[in-house]
Amino acid sequence: MNTGSISLVYASENLVSPSSFMGHSFLKLNGKHGREHAVSYFTDVDSINVPKLLFESIVTGKSGHFVVSPYSESEQFYGKIESRNIYEYHLGLSEYEVKLITLHLWELKNRRIDYFFHTHNCATITLDILGVVEPKMIQSQSAWLTPLDVVKVVNQSRLVSNSTITPSLNWQLRAYGKNLSGDKKQQFSQWLISGNVPRLDGTGADKLLTGKYLLALNQYLFDQKSITQVLWQNNQAKINTLVDKLSSLEIDVSNFKNPLNRLGDSQMSFSLFTNNQEQYLSVKAIPASHLSSDDNRHAFSESSLQLISPKIILSDDSVKLDEFTLYGISQYIPYEPVVNGLSGYFTMAYSGFDTNRFKNENEVFVDGGIGLSFQPMAALQYYGTIGIAFVTDTKKSWIESKLEAGL
């Protein structure tokens, strides 16, 4: 392939897929004659056994694969099938640097590079490859490098010239319809199904956002087979006519859900607990990803992800393991009348101390739940879930039902 330029691509996280819950980073080779290829490094996630997957990907390693494929296939998979936003960071490389990276990729194609989740993953390999032309970036790696870290490191270097975003259809419906009521969205859906395109009301900005929403909604209805291809084409032509009248306006999404503005994918927290009998210091480490209590304004939804996360209690006379979360995930997607959206959680963990009763315990549990959440305004979201937990200690095992509500 005669490569003209190279881009760094970041596909946002998909918490439904274990192989994608931290996003994915890869390189895109742009040919001089319009051909585009994705160069991606990954491992096979061929089991739902989370403990086994973590053991293999952290301790023994898994077989890693370099794949060169048409970029359109990656765009189709991440953008349409998995509903993930795709961010492309165009690299301002010289012709020599482009050639150097291309030849280095050719060197790697037959090499065996085992996949380790925390040391050799899509993020570390991608940054190592770009380090061929900018070695300082490799030195900036943290102990646990994630795809989001790669995006931040590369954008802090000299390499990025400009960026573009290909938003998923789900993102478009939620973003463009942010100021529309649920009743209005359902009305728009019914109109499009019947072949009627509503007029655009309000300010120029309101009209443009509504027009973009109608285009996305029309595509969604077609993908869901709620309308025929002929009706989809007719609706699209009518909506485009309305949107074209607003050609002097454009939507700037540079600071909306921007991954560069997200917090890093690792953290530590310290808490002091006390009552009239004793007090202790609690230290929690999250080597990868985030909590729902973090600033998630630039994430797709309020969510949490914990992998191999310990929580230690330090008191005057002892050190105790309060919790150890092997795998914990939660996601609260606001329910939409058109595109729906479920909320839920799943956790596999050990509990060594009951913080409510200041009492030692020795329990292993697996719990999960599902429910709905609603966001009546930007600063408020409330939810309710119903779930079940399987708990065991050294003496017995039991099942608990769980009902939770919060905001």
pLDDT tens-digit map of 221-238 = 999 999 999 999 999 999
The secondary structure element, H or E, covering residue 104 is: helix 95-108
188 pLDDT above the threshold of 80: yes
- Tokens matching residue 264: 């890093």
pLDDT tens-digit map of 28-44 = 999 988 899 999 887 77
pLDDT tens-digit map of 85-124 = 999 999 999 999 999 999 998 888 777 788 777 677 888 8
Share of the chain above pLDDT 90, in %: 43
Which single residue is written with the structure tokens 């509990």? 351
Closest CA to 215 of 243, 251, 181: 243
pLDDT tens-digit map of 204-226 = 999 999 999 999 999 999 999 99
Span 179-193, average pLDDT: 92
Amino acid at 205: A
Which pLDDT does position 109 carry in this prediction?
75
52 pLDDT above the threshold of 80: no
Which pLDDT does position 151 carry in this prediction?
92
Show Cβ contacts of residue 43 under 8 Å, excluding neighbours closer than 6 positions: 19, 57, 62, 63, 64, 65, 115
Q: How confident is the model at residue 161 (pLDDT cuts 50, 70, 90)?
A: very high
pLDDT tens-digit map of 259-294 = 888 887 788 889 998 877 778 899 998 887 788 888
Summary mean pLDDT of the chain: 87
Show Cβ contacts of residue 18 under 8 Å, excluding neighbours closer than 6 positions: 45, 48, 50, 53
Cα–Cα distances in angstroms (integers) from residue 354 to residues 143, 148, 313, 350, 357, in the given order: 31, 34, 11, 11, 6
Closest CA to 399 of 388, 383, 384, 407: 388
Asked if 236 contacts 215 with a C-beta cutoff of 8 angstroms, the reply is: yes
5 pLDDT above the threshold of 80: yes
Crossing angle, helix 204-223 and helix 182-193, to 10 degrees?
60
Q: What is the pTM of this model?
A: 0.85
Q: How confident is the model at residue 325 (pLDDT cuts 50, 70, 90)?
A: very high
Show Cβ contacts of residue 112 under 8 Å, excluding neighbours closer than 6 positions: 63, 64
Span 137-153, average pLDDT: 77
Asked if 335 contacts 373 with a C-beta cutoff of 8 angstroms, the reply is: yes
Distance (Å, rounded) from C-alpha 129 to C-alpha 343? 38
Asked if 115 contacts 40 with a C-beta cutoff of 8 angstroms, the reply is: no
Span 328-353, average pLDDT: 89
Q: How confident is the model at residue 356 (pLDDT cuts 50, 70, 90)?
A: low
